[in-house]
Amino acid sequence: MIPTHVNRRTRHSPVLATAVLLALMPRAFAQTDPLPSWNETPVKQAIVDFVREATTEGQPGFVPTDERVAVFDMDGTLVPERPVPLALVPVLDDIQQAVEAKPMLRDRPAVAALLKGDVATLHAAGEQGIVDLVAVTTDGRTTEEIVQNVRPLIEGKTAERFGVPYSQAVYQPMREVLALLEANGFTNWICSGSPLLITREVSQGMFGIPPERVMGSHVGTRLDERDGRTVLLFDGTIGRLNDGEFKPVTISLAMPTRPVFVAGNEGGRGDIAMMRWSKDRDGASFQLLVNHDDAAREFEYAEPDEYSLNAAQRYGFHVASIKHDWKTVVGTVEGEQK
Amino acid sequence: MIPTHVNRRTRHSPVLATAVLLALMPRAFAQTDPLPSWNETPVKQAIVDFVREATTEGQPGFVPTDERVAVFDMDGTLVPERPVPLALVPVLDDIQQAVEAKPMLRDRPAVAALLKGDVATLHAAGEQGIVDLVAVTTDGRTTEEIVQNVRPLIEGKTAERFGVPYSQAVYQPMREVLALLEANGFTNWICSGSPLLITREVSQGMFGIPPERVMGSHVGTRLDERDGRTVLLFDGTIGRLNDGEFKPVTISLAMPTRPVFVAGNEGGRGDIAMMRWSKDRDGASFQLLVNHDDAAREFEYAEPDEYSLNAAQRYGFHVASIKHDWKTVVGTVEGEQK
């Protein structure tokens, strides 16, 4: 790995040579393995190689600093999306409380389906179902009132599968990818199908991503006044369902360039469009698709037609198998296996 | 201003005392006037006092670093909006070229009105008029093709009133406010009624604001493919007209807190809602309304009912009179009077 001429120089001036070496090596590679929770597989090597190339001027894969943008899906990519997506954790509480207060809310099909965990009926309820659920959840509260309990609810509830609060149920290997990219000048963003207002409440604490760099779904709101003070209230419309082909649209409104690095997951068909949007940029790029193939340590599921896995093959995306590529799934900061 | 006990210490150790003083004083106030293009009026003093309080722990107006967000309208607030808003400079060229290639486009009322400068007919054309104009402007081009000439067009065309390219026709006093805020830990954003995709092309060069911190109007786009490559195309709909009561909605999607500092202008009624959204935050805030009352050095115009000036009075916003408060209007970096 170390070029011969540098080895020769070490004989004469080891201190200088070490300094030169350290200066030449990207920071995150200088001393320790940047991805300790990954097994030594080709995917891990590909990530490390990509970042090294992206940060080495003169390499074909070099990416100028101001283009180093990485976009991550959240549910199923950074955190488990089973049994429920992260953003539903606080919402379920709201809905249960609302239904206790007003039992007639059970008559709305989407509400009843959600409380029963009847996913098929929930999907069949479509946009009207979402509007009903949002109406029940918000229950006349302002946007600011709605979000104020999100963080304590996610911190306070245990993700049973992993025995830690939802706020700590983050994929350790993906945490390391986030950190590796950030250490090498990348700006990390989230582009999630989950509600923007809920997701950005936990993005800094869980992923080190500031709220301004979160893209997500949202409902329509309108300006109103309460006691002479301006507030925002749900207006009964869907603003944007940020999934599939809408994700590149959302990304294009948030930033002027196509992202260089995009991570998504098999399971909901939702991330292929934004991965293609990245792949089709001018210059180097990297797409990572997380595959949920580990029933023993996480969950095992896929789209019936394996649409996303097939797309990864067709377009040359990298697939991270939870079973084979990840040493740890949900870990502590020390990387303890769960 | 200097506490007595510090004065006493200077007798014993002037170097130490100076170091302590400098450390205690916010950076931008340490040596030079941060707002040299402003006359010595109460508005200038109010801005300076607000920033000093916001950055001094223990003061009632102190604002924690992570809440220091400033939002600026663009047209009429950071740059002149007469004779045309900045974003129309490149668009007018596109429309003229399109009409030369396809003269029947003149039959669309909004296109004919724009080419004649007939503002009344243009307004009357409403949303359909905007859709027509966007269709003519984009003419089947992708979002990326549309923006690639924005910068050269704005840099290449002279703003006749000021004898400099449009890219340099920035209000020098507002440049200084942006710099003062940034030097004191504020994050500056733009929230404009102008098209997002055009505005963010020039935001870094003209205002030092990165493209990711620009909010604006936008049309709907859809993902499509050209030669197997993903592209985004205009879908014939209006996405968001970012004006008036929509501005707080847009801001609430871009950031989780209400901005502390908001600047807008009299002339289009468009900024009062976001200024109220800021004023109604918990804690200190500052709203600045630019008043175009200087026919000799810029332009003189107001809403027929002076809605914005009246709102400033009612809600306690500060009004910057171009005539009385600004020493320079559009200046060079050296602050030369034009």
- Shortest Cα–Cα distance, B280 to chain A (Å): 6
Instruction: Tell whether A235 is within 8 A of chain B (Cβ).
Output: no
A193 three-state secondary structure: strand
CA distance B308 to B46: 20
At B240-273, the pLDDT tens digits run 999 999 999 999 999 999 999 999 999 999 999 9
Mean pLDDT in residue range B72-99? 91
User: Rounded to 5 degrees, what are φ and ψ at A124?
Assistant: -65, -25
Q: Which of A211, A218, A249 is opposite residue B223, by nearest beta carbon?
A: A249
A256 vs B147: CB contact, 8 Å cut-off? yes
Chain B CB within 8 Å of residue A252 CB: yes
- Residues from chain B contacting residue A221 (CB–CB below 8 Å): 249, 252
Query: How far apart, in whole angstroms, are the C-alpha atoms of residue B147 and residue A297?
Result: 47
Percentage of chain A beyond pLDDT 70 is 89
Q: Is the pLDDT of residue A14 over 50?
A: no
pLDDT at A83: 85
**CB distance A232–B252 less than 8 Å?**
yes
Structural domains of chain A in order of their starting residue, each with its CATH number: 28-82+159-325 (3.40.50.1000), 88-150 (no CATH)
Pairing of strands A158-159, A164-165: antiparallel
Q: How many CB atoms lie within 10 A of CB A212?
A: 18
Q: How far is Cα A101 from Cα B75, in angstroms, rounded to an integer?
A: 49
The model's pLDDT over A115-139, given as tens digits with 9 standing for 90+, comes to 888 888 888 888 888 899 999 988 8
Q: What is the DSSP letter of A164?
A: E
| Separation of alpha carbons A196 and A211, rounded Å | 9
Interface test with B, best of A253, A275, A279 (most B CBs within 10 A): A253
A275-314 pLDDT, tens per residue?
999 999 999 999 999 999 999 999 999 999 999 999 999 9
pLDDT of B2 reads: 33
Verify whether the Cβ–Cβ distance B223 to A253 is below 8 Å.
no
Compare CB distances from A277 to B200, B230, B255 and report the shortest one's residue.
B230
Scanning B6-35 for CB atoms below 8 A from A yields none
Q: What is the pLDDT of residue B92?
A: 86
Question: What is the pLDDT confidence band of residue B196, given thresholds at 50, 70 and 90?
Answer: very high
Could B221 and A249 be called an inter-chain contact, meaning their C-beta atoms sit closer than 8 Å?
yes
Cβ-based contacts under 8 A for chains A and B: 63
Q: Work out the average pLDDT over B106-128.
A: 87
pLDDT at B337 (0 to 100): 41
Predicted ipTM of the assembly: 0.88
pLDDT digits (tens, 9 = 90+) for A212-235: 999 999 999 999 999 999 999 999
Q: Give the torsion sign (CA, A306, A307, A309, A313).
A: positive
- pLDDT higher than threshold 70 for residue B332: no
B170, B79 Cβ separation under 8 angstroms: yes
SS (H, E, C) chain B: CCCHHHHHHHHHCHHHHHHHHHHHCCHHHCCCCCCCCECCCHHHHHHHHHHHHHCCCCCCCCCCHHHCEEEECCECCCECCCCCCCCHHHHHHHHHHHHHHCHHHHHCHHHHHHHHCCHHHHHHCHHHHHHHHHHHHHCCCCHHHHHCCHHHHHHHCEECCCCEEHHHCCEHHHHHHHHHHHHCCCEEEEEEEEEHHHHHHHHHHHHCCCHHHEEEEEEEEEEEEECCEEEEEEEEEEEECCCCCHHHHHHHHHCCCCCCEEEEECCCCCCHHHHHHHHCCCCCCEEEEEECECCCCCCECCCCCCHHHHHHHHHCCEEEEHHHHECCCECCCCCCCC
Mutate to test the interface with A, among B143, B202, B209, B212 (most CBs of A within 10 A): B212
pLDDT band for position A9 (cuts 50, 70, 90): very low
User: Do A230 and B277 count as a contact with CB atoms less than 8 A apart?
Assistant: yes
Give the closest-approach CA distance of B147 to chain A in angstroms: 9
- State the Cα–Cα distance between residues B135 and B141, nearest whole angstrom: 10
Inter-chain CB proximity A147 and B256 less than 8 Å = yes
Q: Across the interface, do B273 and A223 touch by the CB < 8 Å criterion?
A: yes
Q: Quick one: what percent of chain A has pLDDT higher than 90?
A: 73
Tokens representing residue B8 in the block: 């006493």
Task: Name the pLDDT band for B33 (thresholds 50, 70, 90).
Answer: very high
What pTM was computed for the model? 0.89
Give the pLDDT score at A31: 60
Give the chain A residue whose CA is nearest to the CA of B198: A256
Closest CA to B230 of A280, A249, A283, A247: A280
Interface check for B245 against chain A (CB to CB < 8 A): the answer is yes
Instruction: With a cut of 60, say whether residue A144 has pLDDT above it.
Output: yes
- Is pLDDT of B84 > 90? no
